[in-house]
Amino acid sequence: MSLTQTEVRGQVGIITLTHDEKRNALSQALIDALIADLGRLEEARIRAVVLRARPGATVWSAGHDVSELPRSGRDPLAYNDPLEQGVRAVRKFHAPILAMIDGSVWGGAVELALSCDILIGTRNASFALTPARLGVPYNPAGILRLLSAVGSSLVLREMFFTARPLTAQRAHDIGVLGHVVESADLERFTLEMAAEIALLSPLSIQVIKEQIRLLDDATPLSPGTFERIQGLRRRVYDSKDYREGITAFLEKRKPVYGGD
Ligand code: YXS
């Protein structure tokens, strides 16, 4: 069963996440399909990509596939984790990727969406950072990327500490959602923007996108600070709360956190 669909219209590629049954949870299989789609569009020198869920899907993506999270003793968001692979593929893609969002976005999928270059949504769009729901210690690279994309440490802390969805209106107010349009106009609006991008200099855009990524990532971190962060995170993913969070989700019950 394919977990994505790809279509090319002129110089614009459209990748649709189609794993509706699992609300497009970012499993290894779905991320592998997304990366393969991007690879084919890169070879075809596509000049813009639209990343979307199926029309009518109420969830753009439910985030990391919880059933694939390690139970304990291993970093749940390590460098080669599917989510990290997907975020890197989107950020390193040679051309702009437009996230077209007409539903809710959860957990690590928020980082995937915010790794795209332009976000266009409807009033149905929302963004919920939910590691605290599951007892997961988010990772430093992801936090830095979210800080850069959200642009406000206060808003990001509220998102992490409450796990409440950021509404489309608020996301638009702070610049996360570039445009909020009616559902009926979403596809036309997004494809028109993508087609406009495809008429501009692909080399200039490619080099500017790469420069922004490299400058965004140019945050010096001493080895000592990095190791302290990893030690803090290990305390969390080795905790009983971490195991409780994942088990509760899979058992479809509310977690009970003891703080250890
Ligand atoms: O029971 P079945 O087999 O039909 O499967 C259900 C859900 O278990 C499954 N599903 C997921 N499976 C794995 N990982 C997920 N993240 C996930 N989300 C959903 O999809 C089937 C339909 O789900 P259901 O019945 O709940 O659908 P719904 O329409 O009523 O509700 C949609 C959601 C998205 C509101 C709901 O599924 C939900 O709250 N999902 C979890 C969202 C979430 O907390 N994601 C964060 C995952 S952890 C992550 O991204 C990072 C590690 S971190 O935590 O650091 O952010």
Distance separating alpha carbons of residues 123 and 140, to the nearest angstrom: 30
Mutate to test the pocket of ligand 1, among 19, 20, 23 (most ligand atoms within 8 A of CB): 23
Q: Read off the pLDDT band of 47 (50, 70, 90).
A: very high
pLDDT above 90 (res 167): yes
Residue minimizing CA distance to atom 36 of ligand 1: 62
Question: How confident is the model over 49-62, as a mean pLDDT?
Answer: 98
What per-residue confidence (pLDDT) applies to 254? 94
Q: Rounded to an integer, what distance in angstroms lies between the CA atom of residue 257 and that of residue 1?
A: 37
CATH topology of domain 4-182: 2-enoyl-CoA Hydratase; Chain A, domain 1 (3.90.226)
What pLDDT sits at residue 219?
84
Q: How many CB atoms lie within 10 A of CB 8?
A: 13
Band of residue 153 on the pLDDT scale cut at 50, 70, 90: very high
Q: How far is the CA of 251 from the centre of ligand 1 (A)?
A: 12
Asked whether the beta carbons of 105 and 98 are under 8 A apart, the reply is no
Atom 13 (ligand 1): residue with closest C-alpha?
A: 65
221: confidence class by pLDDT, cuts 50, 70, 90? confident
Answer for the pair 114, 176: CB distance below 8 angstroms, yes or no: yes
Domain positions in the chain are: 4-182
| 136 pocket-lining for ligand 1 (C-beta < 6 Å) | yes
CB of 22 closer than 6 angstroms to any ligand 1 atom: yes
The whole-model pTM stands at: 0.95
Across the range 246-256, mean pLDDT stands at 95
Mean pLDDT value across residues 63-71 = 96
pLDDT band at 142 (very low <50, low <70, confident <90, very high): very high
**SS3 of residue 85 by DSSP:** helix
**Residue 84 pLDDT > 80:** yes
- Compute, in angstroms, the gap from residue 154 CA to the centroid of ligand 1: 26
Q: Which residues contact residue 215 at a Cβ distance below 8 angstroms, ignoring those fewer than 6 apart?
A: none
How many other CB atoms are there within 10 angstroms of residue 241's CB atom? Answer: 19
Tell whether ligand 1 has an atom less than 6 A from the beta carbon of residue 37: no
pLDDT at 98 over 90: yes
Cα–Cα dist 25/83, whole Å: 10
pLDDT at 125 over 80: yes
- Three-state helix/strand/coil letters over 140-159: HHHHHHHHHHHCCHHHHHHH
CA of 23 from ligand 1 middle (Å) equals: 7
Q: Is the dihedral of CA 145, 146, 149, 153 positive or negative?
A: negative
- Determine if ligand 1 sits within 6 Å of the CB of residue 103: no
